[in-house]
Structure 1
Amino acid sequence: QNEIKDVLKPSSINSHQNKEWAKAMEKRYICKCVPYCCTSTSTHLQNRAQLAYGWFALPKLMKELDSDIPLTHWKAVVSLTEFLLNPLNAQRAINEKDLVRKLKIAFMRMRLKLHKEEHQEVEMYLRIYNILSRNLDGAENIAKRKCLRDEFYKIIKNQEINKDGLASEILRNLTGKPKALEIFLEDPDNFLAMAEIFHQDPCRPHYPLHLWHHLCHLLEVAPEQGIELGFFELLHSRILNRLSNFWDMATKAFALLLRCAEGQRRFDAVDGVKLLYDVFVQPDENRRLLLPLQKVENWEYTVLALVNGLHSKRALWRSREFTQLPCYVGRLMQSTEDNPRLQLYCLKAFRELGVMPCIKRYIIANWLEDICKLFCLDAEAECARDSLVDWLRRDIADSS
């Protein structure tokens, strides 16, 4: 200002200074906070009940759950889905407040159209049952109520949006408990309902993952009952026709069916060894001919099916004709780095294939050294490896 005071007037200097200052502050105004009066109120607590502190919260929620006012009942249901996440609160609600029975009454009234669903009450009921099914007492109480089991299966069969996944997870949690699984197996209608769901559309590409686990829980204990209901033909067709993700849970369920005599007989009748061998040779095929979901990403259940299917003499004699089968199993055993169960199943497959003398000689000549150097991922695989090596070396000592 001292240099140009003789050229410009003080007012002109101040005007230029204000313009430059305004330009510099424009960028800062962009980041300026919104005035407090313009902020919107949070809607998170609008659907929640006002909770009391400590042990008084649950009695208040149970009282509001019985309310005839729809909004009060809705707020209590939404609050319960968060309140019961604490296992202590869930245990107390099951044993002291008989929550399973009270919730069943409200749930059945909605399902039977006796009460109008104004919000999303049924979905919230399922969320609460999902939380309670993780508890041992809660799972047993839910499993004992046949009306609830039937409704869960109906929801899955009708593919109700946002509900079939929750119902599937509830069933998986229930059959994951031994006592609840026993209750399920005592009633043949449960297995029949599962068969109706899967036979409704045999070409359906996807089912909820939790529903597959629920089916595997049942087939693991009662494979004969599953075969009588047609699950063997259904799962065999899914693997044969290479439906989406056939190598995952469908192959696991198929492997569980082979643990009984009837499953083994049908496995031999459909030439199951060749069926699995065609899956093993997939890496050598032209991948451009495969759809994205047909590419095998996890070989664990395919090897498990092979292990369970080699218990008959006919299957063992058939395996002699596929000379590359031990090579595919050995490559999978060496390639896995993070799946100890796949490693274990490969070692068991070597043991089953080695029952045939020609295959055993091939394993001793080509894979014994690799098996001895194998780094096992867990203790169970290490025990299986040591047992297999001892069995193979014993044959060398006997022959020499």
Structure 2
Amino acid sequence: MWEQLEGYRNLYLQKEIKDVMKSSAVNCLQSKEFDTFRKKRDCCVRFQQQCAKSSTYFQDRAQLAYGFWALPKLMKEIDSDVNLTHWRAIVSLTEYLLNPQNVQRAVLEMDIVRKLKNAFMRMRLKFHEEHYEEIETYLRLFNIISRNLNGAEQIANRKCLMIEFYKILKDMEPRKEDLAAEILRNLTGKPKVLGIVLSDAENLGSIATFLKTDPCKPLYPPDLWHHLCHMLEVVPEQGIELGLFQLLHSRIVNRLAKFWEMNCKAFALLLRCSEGQRLFDDVDGIKMIFEIFEERRIAKEKKLQHQQVLNYEYVVLALLNGLHSKRALWRMREFTLLICHVGRAMYTRKNARLQLYCLEALRAMGVMPCNKRYIIGNWLEDISRLVCYSAEAECARDSLLDWLRRDIADNS
């Protein structure tokens, strides 16, 4: 009977070696191996089980009144001398002001920008001690308010706030740097507020000084680049006077991390003035752009991290903005393969702006007769069969085709 019971365990093994060992011996060996494996597992160091911390959600938030009276209650509690009450009020405001209607009412009726500015400056100037994370919360509130046009105007008109935002960027304060950059991007993203920001030359000077302190820094907050591009789109001459052309050119030549993105866009915007075009010709910008395209043939393993170009949109934009001088056009004659690189970039999917820039760049390169003959002989059929991703690209393609075919008709 016992031998029959032993046969029920490890049935697969017993069928394989039934003529070599008894059932009891097989079960004994299996039990011994299992004990050995379990002892090895028990010797492993386990992580100590920690209890989850209790949530402070309700402790950090004020008890709101219903409907219309919530905002007056919070604005009253902001002026409280009790630190906990003040902290709860500003934390609750970051959630309550997510509604644009509440932001408009707080800016126009409650003068919230002035109150937050006074409290923020007291903390920054060390007149009041920071008990919780008030400065970071103030930055979040300014970020939400800056999305509103009236709120952005009031923030931009207060120079002390702008100075503190640039100081935060310069000192690279953790968790505050990204918030300050996003606030500045929201301000200059509105044309009316951009004029207010540019009326003070120190704002662009602060950005230029900050970037030149460490020219080899690989990465900056993306919102900082957007803020810089918003200003350079209007006043490229001031950017060149502050030395941004040499800085951005050196970052592209040295292939710093993600140089082809916003760094290259800011460089392209500097070429929209006569001085930028002259400097572009002096540094042989056509050859620099050609070398960026030629590096596509280099294996990815031979490059450093973030040196592989993922998007040629702003590289083509820099080429387009740099082809306005006769010197650049004559230099273009020596890089016929650059036409092929731009032509292949037209077929990049899901990037309508890159396609538009490529078509406009082909039109600009075709001003030289030799380049125009090369485009007619090698790219005319491809351009005519091109599937456009936007209405603007389609108009540019039709205009380019009409221009090329007119030349064929005139010659024939």
Partner secondary structure for residue 281 of structure 1: helix
Q: Give, in whole Å, the separation in 2 of the partners of 1:46 and 1:79.
A: 11
2:116 — aligned with what? 103
1:287 CA displacement: 3.0
Q: 1:341 to 1:160 in 2, by over 3 A?
A: same
Q: Is 1:351 paired with 2:358?
A: no
After superposition, the C-alpha distances for 1:301-352 in whole angstroms (9 at most, x for unaligned) are 0000000000000000001101201000011112x11000000000011001
Query: Aligned residue for 1:236?
Result: 249
- The gaps in structure 2 that reach 5 residues or longer are 1-50
Report the counterpart of residue 157 of structure 2 in structure 1.
144
For residues 217 and 230 of structure 2, what CA distance do their matches in structure 1 show?
21
The corresponding residue for 1:379 is: 391
Alpha-carbon offset, residue 284 of structure 1: 1.7
Cα distance per residue 1:128-152 (max 9 Å; x no partner): 0000000010110100000000000
- Scaled by the length of structure 1, the TM-score of the pair is 0.89
Pick the aligned partner of 1:313 from 299, 308, 326: 326
Q: Secondary structure at the match of 1:47?
A: coil
SS, match of residue 90 in structure 1? helix
- 1:42 is displaced (CA, Å) by 4.1
2:188 to 175, 185, 191: 175
Residue 191 of structure 1: how far off its partner (Å): 1.0
Using the TM superposition, give the Cα deviation of residue 292 of structure 1 relative to its aligned residue in structure 2, in angstroms. 2.4
Q: TM-score, normalised by structure 2?
A: 0.87
Partner amino acid for 1:234?
A: L
The Cα of 1:281 is off from its aligned counterpart by 0.7
CA–CA separation in structure 1 for the residues paired with 2:57 and 2:327? 64
Q: Give how far 1:282 is off.
A: 1.4
Structure 1 partner of 2:353:
341
Gaps of 5+ in 1: 1-37
Secondary structure of 2:306's partner? helix
Letter of the 2:136 partner, please give it.
E
2:273 to 260, 263, 269: 260
C-alpha distance in 1 between matches for 2:136 and 2:219: 22
- Pick from 366, 387, 390: which aligns with 2:378? 366
Deviations 1:266-309 (A, max 9, x none): 00000000011100111122333211200000110000000000
CA RMSD of aligned residues (A): 1.1
Write out aligned runs for 1:109-148 (5 A): 109-148=122-161
Aligned length: 362
SS for the counterpart of 2:372 is: helix
Match of 2:213 among 193, 200, 212: 200
Q: What is aligned with 2:173?
A: 160
Deviation digits for residues 92-123 of structure 1 (CA, Å, limit 9, x no counterpart): 00000000000000000000000000100000
Equivalent in the alignment of 1:393:
405
The one-letter amino acid of 2:396's match is: A
Distance 2:404 2:336 in 1: 19
CA deviations on 1:344-393 (whole Å, 9 max, x unpaired) are: 00001100100010010000011011101100001000000000000000
Q: Does 1:69 align with 2:82?
A: yes
Inter-partner Cα distance in structure 2 for 1:49 and 1:133: 24
The aligned counterpart of 2:306 is 293
Identity %: 67
